Every structure is written in C-alpha cells, then in structure tokens.
Structure 1
Amino acid sequence: MSHSPKGTGSLVSTEGTRHTRISGVGGYRPERVVTNAEVCTWIDSTDEWIRERSGVVSRRFAAKDETVVDMALEAAGPALEMAGITADQLGAVVCATVTHGYRTPAAAPLIALRLGANGIPAFDVGAACAGYCYAISIASDMVRGGSADHVLVVGTDRLSEATNHHDRGSAFIFGDGAGAAVVSSSDVPGIGPTVWGSDGEKWDAIRQRLSWTEIQDRSERELAGEPQDWSDAGAEDARSASTLIMSGQSVFRWAVWSMAPVAQQAIDQAGITADDLDAFIPHQANMRIIDAMVKQLKLPADIPVARDIAETGNTSAASVPLATERMLREGEVPHGGLALQIGFGAGLAYAAQVIRLP
C-alpha cells in the first residue's frame, strides 16, 4: 500500500554559494623557550646534528597547567580583533587538535564557552598536522552554504605532552602553540579550492605508540598487581606509551615527493600561477622538506617562504596559522596578498589551498 506525502510545499533553505575569505588571524607562542642544548640533555645528540637534520634551533613548550584550550583562546582574541567582530557574531568554532586532554568532550565547545559564545556549533577536527587546512575548508564550506557568516578556526596542539623526550628520532622536532583564523563571507573569492586527501595505507608512519584500548588494558592489569612489560612500545609506563612514534625516513620521502604535486594542484585550481603568489606557507615539519618543495614547485626566488620551524619546531595544526600571523605582523608579506598554504602529517592526511591574506 502506497502513501502520499503529507507535505507538498517547498522547503526554505539557507542562502548558499557565497564567497569566503580569511578576515583575521592570530597566534600564540608559549613563554618557555627550549633550546637544542636543553634537548641534548635528554637525548644523545648535538645542536649541529639537530639543525642539520631538521632546521630546528629552538621550540616553545606550554606551561605545566596550560592546556590546548588556554592557548587557543590566546590566539583567538587577536584573530577576532583583526576580523573586526566579537565572539557573539560567530556562527561556529572548528578546532583542529590531536592533543586535547579528553577524547570527549571536544575542545571546541570549551573554547566557545570561554569566548562568551556558548551555544553555537563547535567541534574538533582530528587531522593532525593537516588539521588547520582541513578546518579552513570546512569553515569555508559552512559560510558558502549559508549556515554561518563567521567561523572561528583554531589550530592548537601541545606536542610536548605527546613526545617521548628520550626518543632520539623525535624528541627534538615538536613544540607547542596555537594559531587562529576567522573565515567570513566575502563579495569576492578569498579562499581557493581545497586539494585534500589521505593515505590510510601509511597510517602507522606517525602514530601513538599504543592505542588507548591497549594502554587502558595494561594499566588495569598493572593496578591489579600484574607487572606489565611496556618495552614493545618503546616505553616504561602508560604515560610514555601514549606518546608519538614516527618513521622519519618514510614520512620525509612521502612529504618531499607527494606534497609538491598537491600544492601545485591547489595553485592550478585557484586559477593562478606561482608567479602570482605573495607567500608560501607550508606546514613546519622539517626545513629540508620545505626547501625541497620550494625547488619542486619552481617558486620565484623572491617569494617569502615560512621557515618558522627554526624557532617553533613542529606545532602540528598550529604551524600554518602561526607562520601566517608572524609573516603579516612582521611585514614579510602584504595584507591582501595571495598565499599558498599546505598541511600534511599523521593519517597520512594532507590539504592545500590558496588564500588571500587578511
């Protein structure tokens, strides 16, 4: 037996297909500076080796009681100010992070609450070092679709807590920080098409040493009086078993040979050429990766390239917005100029887009 539909009227939809832009950016770098000399008290290495291997000279570590939410708020304030809006004008908060202290609830609702914007949609994106560029695309689509006029995007990570400080292969790479951007509606295009994707076959190239399920199981048995061997995780206890492990060479090769074509696609889909760019802002993973991408993209010799890794280390989802904020603040790039940004990392996930700087 068939039934006729009860409603025959037309649905009302939100206004869509608007243009978008980044209207403001902000950044926060924790006070504590950790030099290579200090790192070398944890691992058998030298300042020269670390610089040659990664380009890192120093990095910032959050204070003991400083959370990813705290850092996000410090970055969000200047972003809202530059955008010329207040928190009550936000339509959503999207937070890119993989180091929030809780699997649930997410960090974004807490950010919205503490900004004074409680009640708006707020959620986290767990795409690691690609998270900020993922979130920019999501926020842009939200504004284009008409579900928000302004969306706050935050990339915030505290990788010092996710690092095994005795792992010679990764202890020197990571740092802490937060960067933020406001994505707003625009009369003209300000965010180009996003080229993004993931390679699940390489999921274990950058990962937590043990899953939370494995850690919980072993911890419970340890509390029950059963001694546990954590050595297969390169760790001595549950805390260090939750830190990151990285296959450095395979990640390096993947980034060098696979990410330049993604960046080129973003340039092509934006309808411009490399000569039109005013800045290249790649994820701050490794100085050698950045230099290799510049060479493969055949970028003009005079184009400003973000190399913030020297003083921030790899801050995961925070690295691209942190570099963007600094380059604008220091006058290295022009307001209103075109910038190619790309994030890539664990997943393995990646995303790139050309944006007009606020």
Structure 2
Amino acid sequence: MPALATPASWLTGYIADLPTPFDGDGELDLDAFAALCARPIDAGAAAIIVGETAGEASTLSAAEKFRLVRCAVETVQGRARIIAGAGSNSTDRATELTRQAERAGADAVLSVVPYYNKPTQEGMIAHFRAIAASTTLPVILHDIPARTVRGLSDTTLERLAGSAQFVGLLDGAGNVARPLRLQQRLPPHFRLLTGDDATAPAYLMAGGHGCMSAVANVIPGLCRAIHASLSEGRLQSARLLSSRLSPIAELLAADHPAALKYALARLGLMTPDTRLPLVPLSEAAKPLVEAAIARLCDENLVNPRHAWPATPVPDRACSGLPDDRP
C-alpha cells in the first residue's frame, strides 16, 4: 500500500463522502454502513470519507464517530484510505475528535474552517496548526464558505501548505478557477479537490486532483471511468460519461444528504432516514430521483435490490453524557 507521505497516490479521483445509515430505532446501522464502505472501494476508489457532510456529522456523538471509523477500518482491511471528518468550530473539540480518529485507525482527517464564530485568517492558521500538532495523521483542509461564512484565503492556504502535514484542500465552493490560480503557489505534494460533483470534470481539467463526492456513492464505477478518461487526456470520452452523471448529481446536490439517502434506499442499500433538523426527501422530489435511478438502471450502471420507507430520526448528538467517549 502507498505511503501516507505520498498523498498523490491516494488523495485523488472521486472519493465518496459516505452517508450515515440509521436503523428503525435511530441507532447506527453498521451492517449497511459496511456495505456502503465496500461499494466505492470495490470499484477501485483509493479512499473514502467517514463522518463528514454527507454523514450528518453535526448530529453524531463522539462515540458514534469512533464506531463509524472502526467499522470502516475493519471493512476496508487496508484496501483504501479512511478519511475521518474531525472538524469543529471549537479548536479543543476539533483536536479531541482528531485524536479520536487516529485512535480509531483513520489514515487522515478532514478538518473544516471553523463555522459560526467567524475567525480571522490568523485565527484559522492557529486553529489548523493546533490540530496538526495534536496528531501524526495527515490533515486535509475543508473550505466551504456557504456553511462557514468566512473562507480560507489563498494566502492562508499557501502558508499552511508549507507544512507537509497539510496534504490537501477540499474546495467546498467548487471554484473551477482555483486550481489554475493556486497550482504554482502550492508544493507538489498538496492536492486540490472539489466538493461539487456538477463541476468536478471542469475542476479536474483546470488542474484539480479529485472530487469528494456524493454521487460516487451511487455510481462509483462511472465516477472512476470519468477520472480515468480525464487523467489519460480523453476529453471527449470524459464529457460523454459526465453527461450520464450530471442528472443524478444535480438532484443529489439540491437536497443533500436527504436525496443521496433516498437514492441509495431505492437501490436497497440503506434506509433513507435522516436526523433532525434534517428531514427525509420531500414527496415532490422523490419521483425525480426515482426517474434518475431508473435511467441508470436501464443503462446497467447500477443494480437495485429493494426500497425502504423514510422517517426522520431524532437528533442524538447530545444524548450522551458530557464525557461520552469511546
């Protein structure tokens, strides 16, 4: 397996941001989660993401996050990297989640720009350096201004990337001009990934290295084929394949992660249950997702099993004791 010191070998291509399945009692459904872990890896993915945006991270307790990472590690058995969501708007909380991810066996952590409290760029630098100092794991930065209000500036990113422990950026804004703007300013080890499936091909053609993806949960084989075509310079093939991905990608982005969970439920892989304050996909949107899934089935890109009903699950993020730890 490639060394963690060479992120170019694993922090690349379409990397599935896994949703968190819940059972009828609102507990983690680890059997379903194990199947979701295996799905993109069986299609050749080099890494998966656990307990992040698609995983409804803000509603998960520390103990639940630990269990998800452990389940992923035990399922993957070294075949791919496990990237654990470990971000928080509290530096102390983020460092504790990072240490926990390392204890659970994660290969890297994904750490978001602190949200709500709107730190300065100097505050962001201090925050991320404190996280890096708390672990031996590689740290991937997550810049998503739509959720954090303040974004990571190019200058801040350049300063952080000077440390080899910071190995990449998840660009949640999906700015296709950013790779062109940054590629001469960042060290060769540093990877740039988009979080937007709809513009991922353009981002990769502009010099990006991959996409942390919702749609890779649904059609991982097609995602891998798109990345391979782009890597080999077969742009016409990449455009044709991307046109088959675009309809479902747009629907998943419109109501994330409820639409993703519903799509996977239609394939029989999990229940579509979400935790409050998120609710399941609306009745009006369900036929659109069903039609997109049906088209993928007709093209033999996915193979459905059976569907599940959808119910919201109470928020359990604060249901444990204050010292709730695995």
After TM superposition, the score normalised by the length of structure 1 is 0.27
Query: Higher relative contact order at CA 8 Å, sep ≥6: structure 1 or structure 2?
Result: 1
**Which of the pair is proportionally richer in helix?**
2
Larger Rg: 1
**Which of the pair is proportionally richer in strand?**
1
